[in-house]
Amino acid sequence: MQVSDRKVVYIHYTLKNKEGTVLDSSSQETPLAYIHGIGSIIPGLEKALAGKSEGDKFNISVDPEEAYGERNETLIQAVPRDAFQGVEDLQEGMQFQAQTPSGPQLITVTEIGTEQVMVDANHPLAGETLDFDVEVVDIREATEEELEHGHVHGAGGHHHA
């Protein structure tokens, strides 16, 4: 079976930046499971996986525009420090989910002043070229329920309570 739309694909991967630093890796015990063709992984990796078969191993370099986009400096803003009331030990690097007109957005604290806090709403990997080592572990048909829900159920996927 080949990777194509509406298939559940299980992969092992190692993600590195251009300097070769490992940023993320799937455990060799639990592969990442996703439904191909619905945009649940970055576009460049999804395109590279199309047509691959179980057992295929490959390396791919994904440019920012096919990953998490270029950095957008307008997404760096100063917000009043009192917007973080209830956070006892505010530190640089902390991440929060902010409600925006376009829905929830992850923000990262980049600088803390006495009156204002600088936050960055860019994805932490925005602007980065990403290098992946990938192995296709398994491929199967997605169930109608998985397609309706937009995610994989069972091992490596989502579990409903």
Write out pLDDT tens, residues 75-106.
999 999 999 988 989 999 999 998 888 888 89
Write out pLDDT tens, residues 25-57.
997 789 999 999 999 999 999 999 999 999 999
For residue 130, what pLDDT is reported? 97
| Residue 109 amino acid letter | V
Output the CATH code of domain 73-120: 2.40.10.330
Chain mean pLDDT for the chain:
92
Domain residue spans of the chain: 7-68+126-149, 73-120
Fold of 7-68+126-149: Chitinase A; domain 3 (3.10.50)
Contact 86, 51 (CB under 8 A): no
Q: DSSP letters along 20-66, please? A: --EEEE--SSS-EEEETTTT-S-HHHHHHHTT-BTT-EEEEEE-GGG
Share of the chain above pLDDT 90, in %: 84
Say if pTM beats, i.e. exceeds, 0.85.
no
Query: Reduced to 3 DSSP states, what percent helix, strand and coil does the chain have, rounded to the nearest 5?
Result: 15, 40, 45
Distance CA 30, CA 27 (A): 5
| Residue 97 amino acid letter | Q
For residue 155, what pLDDT is reported? 65
